[in-house]
Amino acid sequence: MKKFFKQRLPAVSKIKSHPGLQFFGTLLHDPNLWHLNRRSLAGGAAVGLFFAFLPLPIQMLSAAAMAILFRVNLPFSVSLVWLTNPITIPPAFYFAYQVGASVLNEPIQTIKFSASQDWILHTLGHVWQPFLLGCLIVGTLSALIGYLTISLLWRIQVGRVWKSRRKIRLKKMLKKQAV
């Protein structure tokens, strides 16, 4: 599990030298932000997935700040924010709007997205409450599911490693006894 994430996460030096993160200064030197262990990765998943579903223009910086605050894996947190990218944002945010509208018991409107000031002022003005509520609900549930999934997968992998080591030790003991 550790090797899997080590191969896929950006290098520590690359993250530390990112211009957008320089204002964090010496806070980036905390070793807990770079560790690859169950707690750090599960927490990083929770932070990254929560901020992925918040409609903020500074999702990466927000995720980085929370990763530093909670002392979880910074690269994993920031990377998971990109789950919502320019391609996935419209369906993800429309789903969040549907969740919020359902919770508030409001009729779901068909919304045509347009990246314009007019759309923000007129269309978003009518649906902002269910939209933001849905984003918070989906972000929170995603964070919880991400945390539990990483924790479970980590525990399963550690169990496999222990089982493998136990088998090897047992084989060695049986060979010694046979001699």
pLDDT tens-digit series, residues 31-82? 778 778 899 999 999 999 999 999 888 898 899 999 999 999 988 999 999 9
pLDDT at position 6 is 65
pLDDT at position 12 is 64
Q: Is residue 100 part of a domain?
A: no
pTM over 0.85: no
Q: Is residue 98 part of a domain?
A: no
Q: Is residue 118 part of a domain?
A: no
Neighbours of 171 (CB within 10 A): 10
pLDDT at position 35 is 79
Asked if 51 and 139 count as a contact pair (C-beta separation under 8 A), the reply is yes
Q: Is residue 164 part of a domain?
A: yes
Whole domain around residue 150: which residue ranges? 2-88+142-178
Q: Is residue 174 part of a domain?
A: yes
Q: What is the pLDDT of residues 87-131, one digit of tens each?
A: 888 889 889 999 999 999 998 887 776 666 776 677 777 788 999
pLDDT at position 20 is 67
Higher pLDDT, 3 or 33: 33
pLDDT at position 31 is 73
Question: Which candidate, 150, 149, 144, places its Cα nearest to that of 37?
Answer: 150
Neighbours of 128 (CB within 10 A): 14
pLDDT at position 57 is 84
Domain total for the chain? 1
Q: Is residue 147 part of a domain?
A: yes
Task: Grade residue 27 by pLDDT with cuts at 50, 70 and 90.
Answer: confident
Say which residue the tokens 């002392």 belong to: 71
The encoded tokens of residue 132 equal 């933001």
The contacts of residue 167 (CB under 8 Å, 6+ apart) are none
Q: What is the pLDDT of residues 122-174, one digit of tens each?
A: 777 778 899 999 999 999 999 999 999 999 999 999 999 898 889 888 888 88
